[in-house]
Amino acid sequence: MTRPEKSFKTAAFLATLPLLRELDRDEINRIAANTLQIEAPRGSVLFRRGDQCTGFHVVIYGQVKLSLQSPRGDEKVIELIGAGQSFGEAVMFLEKPYMVAAETLADSKLLHVARTAIFAEIDRDARLARRMIASLSMRLHHLVHDLESYTLQSGTQRIIGYLLSLIDEQEGNRVQIALSAQKNIIASRLYLTHEHFSRMLHDLVTAGLIEVNGRTIHILDRKKLSCFSDRQP
């Protein structure tokens, strides 16, 4: 499933990541020499809660679900990770076991960057530490924003915010978008049950704001959708 990946392509890909963009070629090559390539078909478990963390992952293509599971077996999706995004850096620095599980939602290809290689480069050059801190700070900012939306916004408002986040700012008032994952997974990500998610999408359809065809959403009036309020607490 994994193998050492020392090719120029891997080094070139690593050099495009915000975390590593300021490093020179020799530094990138040393990290690439300690990077594993992972071919992970859909449904592959990359790690489980309690597994030891030996580095962080970067998604080349595909999608990864980070989730928690209750003692009753209920799943809570924490984050959906797509191409070009990384995960696991915070746990890597803490040198503690993973607190979440990671599973691929589509056929995926990832890189696993060894903790030892990152720590060695940080010892050589503090710029990498600054980039890592900036990245972790941005992720914390996103988590606080999520917490704010979960506590202050209704379910319908959360769904609208999610749909609008999938639209390029340059697109027009009537757009078509594709959900990034199955509806039950997105519902969990938005702290909703699958039933509530489906009902609220239906309400938006009834209001004449969207049309739903499987995972394809046709937004009929982007401006009205952004201003819509279900007046729910």
Phi and psi, residue 86, nearest 5°:
-120, 160
Is residue 41 left, alpha or beta, with left meaning phi > 0 and alpha meaning psi from -120 to 50? beta
Measured distance CA(118)–CA(127) in Å, rounded: 12
Give the integer Cα–Cα distance in Å for 63 and 47. 15
pTM tops 0.85, yes or no: no
Task: Write out the chain's pLDDT in tens, 233 residues.
Answer: 444 444 448 999 998 888 887 788 898 999 999 999 999 999 999 999 999 999 999 999 999 999 998 778 788 999 999 999 999 988 998 888 999 999 999 999 999 999 999 999 888 888 788 877 877 777 776 777 777 666 667 889 889 988 988 888 778 889 999 998 999 999 998 889 999 999 999 999 999 999 999 989 999 999 999 888 654 43
The secondary structure of 178-205 as a DSSP string is E-SS-HHHHHHHTT--HHHHHHHHHHHH
The Cα–Cα gap between 102 and 62 comes to 13
